[in-house]
Structure 1
Amino acid sequence: MSQTKLHLRDKGPVSSAPGFTFEHYDSIGSTNSYGIDLARQGHPGHLWLRAEEQTEGRGRRGRAWTSDRGNLFASVLLRFDKLDETAVQFPFVAALSLADAVEKACGVTHLVELKWPNDLLINGAKISGILLESESHSSYGFYLVCGFGVNVVHHPDLGLYKTTDLRSLGFQCNADLLFLKLAESFEHWLGTWSKPNGFDVVRKAWLERAIGVGEQIRVRLTREEFSGRFVDIDHFGRLILKMDSGETRLVSAGDVFFS
């Protein structure tokens, strides 16, 4: 994707997160895809990419993501000299950051619940999507691109699960305000996670928002579906399930459903 073909609306330092810069486009294929392109070019990172609309928005597992104007579409590009297996903890950093941002933008506390690993729910309905991708380069290092899509003024009817948007729930925040709150809270939780034993703090905060802990849930994988009691998440963010047989099963990725 070539930046010269894009209409750049604005760029500069992020006022709410001084350690980051941003580029804001009118329309883009995918903020995540553009972030990957920049990573392959050796970008120094700590960059937010925003768009008023995406023409090729993507969700997890290659699913399409509806990207109409008025909602928030933003990806953050991070560069690391090296990154170990703790990268799998990052979805929880992202989920906490967005949950805090939504509540601050709406002016309400205890509004957002989290569904493993990084879905945000309000009154049981999904309001957002988070997509994490990586890129490594022998010369430039290791990159993470984390994309956030939030239903601010409208939402798709997906059929698989309930969805909603902030306007339908009566909140008057807009994508610009939500972005500033997201950048601010993301800088905070990124700093927390980066400290020694930082994921212990992240994990505790995530579990305080989590739904389904201690309950029977269904997990759907590509070729398998099973049920168990949601016990905890481990230090790698894996779902810990207690099966009916008494055995413990760890789940690294999958779709979770509640009875």
Structure 2
Amino acid sequence: MTSGTNQRPAPGAPDFRVEEHVTLGSTNTACFDRARAGDTGRLWVRAEEQTEGRGRRGRDWSSPGGNLFASLLLVAPEPANRIGELPLVAAVALAEAVDKALGTLQLVQLKWPNDLLVEGAKLSGILLEAEALADGRQAVVIGFGVNCVSHPELSLYQATDLRSLGFQVSAERLFEFLAASLAEKLTVWAQPGGFDDIRRGWLKRAAHLGNRITVRTAQEELSGIFADLDARGHLVLKQDDGRLRTLYAGDVFLPGV
């Protein structure tokens, strides 16, 4: 792996570039640094190790060597009014990349909105962040962390890694499949009605669909049946009184967890 700011075409996605490092604080942070410096986007930043990785809601993300840490910078992505769908686009792309890299068929399930699970244990994290640039454009960064050879002990969830599951794949090899898969899914997403295809792909892998779940949002905790995803990828919860509630963000748990 190169170090510094050398860039090359991304594997399997020649319209994207990749910048590779041995160690970084955070690949998401590095992407925003490039955007503020004038990068036009479609840039991957990858590191062998992160020292300041972070997850959703500001949680720490364990980032030891051997696992995959990569973030994609998009500048002024279109359609801008549908950026909220990108976490699900990313999840479907990563799930398909894992299958292609391992030669498996639907190994992973998806827990709303974008966690990959294998036998109920968390395999990866995806973090989408956005920032308005000085020129008025929006920088969007999609960060991926995948447990290839090790996994942390998490307080909220059980975790796993590919090596523990019996699969041998390097972070570099998995990234090649991810770069190609996400480029393909972003092209689909940008087309009129393209998210319909992404949504169907997500639902095919949906964990807990039709089952009772608890959703913890920043404001409240709700329980009910995971009924569906709406047309924009939001979770539709059927509450005990029969009413449907659409949730735009939150953490999903099984009852008793």
Scaled by the length of structure 1, what TM-score is found?
A: 0.94
Q: Which residue of 1 aligns with 2:105?
A: 109
Alignment of 1:130-145 (within 5 A): 130-137=126-133, 139=135, 141-145=137-141
User: Is 1:187 matched with 2:183?
Assistant: yes
Q: Which residue of 2 aligns with 1:215?
A: 211
Q: Which residue of 2 aligns with 1:3?
A: none
Q: Please state whether the residue corresponding to 1:8 is helix, strand or coil.
A: coil
Alignment of 1:1-259 (within 5 A): 7-8=3-4, 11-80=7-76, 83-137=79-133, 139=135, 141-259=137-255
CA distance in 2, matches of 1:240, 1:81: 27
Map Cα deviations across residues 144-191 of structure 1 (whole Å, 9 max, x no partner): 100000000000011321100000000011101000000000011001
Q: Which has the larger displacement, 193-202 or 235-244? A: 235-244
Contact 1:81 1:141 in 2 (8 A): no
Q: Which has the larger displacement, 134-143 or 161-170? A: 134-143
**Residues matched between the structures, number:** 254
Contact 1:113 1:210 in 2 (8 A): yes
Q: How far apart are residue 15 of structure 1 and its match?
A: 2.6
Q: Please state whether the residue corresponding to 1:98 is helix, strand or coil.
A: helix
Q: How far apart are residue 85 of structure 1 and its match?
A: 2.8
Q: How far apart are residue 8 of structure 1 and its match?
A: 2.2
Map Cα deviations across residues 4-41 of structure 1 (whole Å, 9 max, x no partner): xx942853111311111100001101000111111122
The gaps in structure 2 that reach 5 residues or longer are none
The gaps in structure 1 that reach 5 residues or longer are 1-5
Q: Which amino acid aligns with 1:112?
A: V
CA distance in 2, matches of 1:61, 1:198: 28
Residue identity over aligned pairs, in percent, reads 52
CA distance in 1, matches of 2:118, 2:242: 33
Contact 1:82 1:141 in 2 (8 A): no
Contact 2:78 2:190 in 1 (8 A): no
CA distance in 2, matches of 1:188, 1:219: 31
Scaled by the length of structure 2, what TM-score is found?
A: 0.95
Q: CA 1:143 to 1:29, structure 2 compared with 1: closer, same or farther past 3 Å?
A: same
Q: Which has the larger displacement, 81-90 or 120-129? A: 81-90
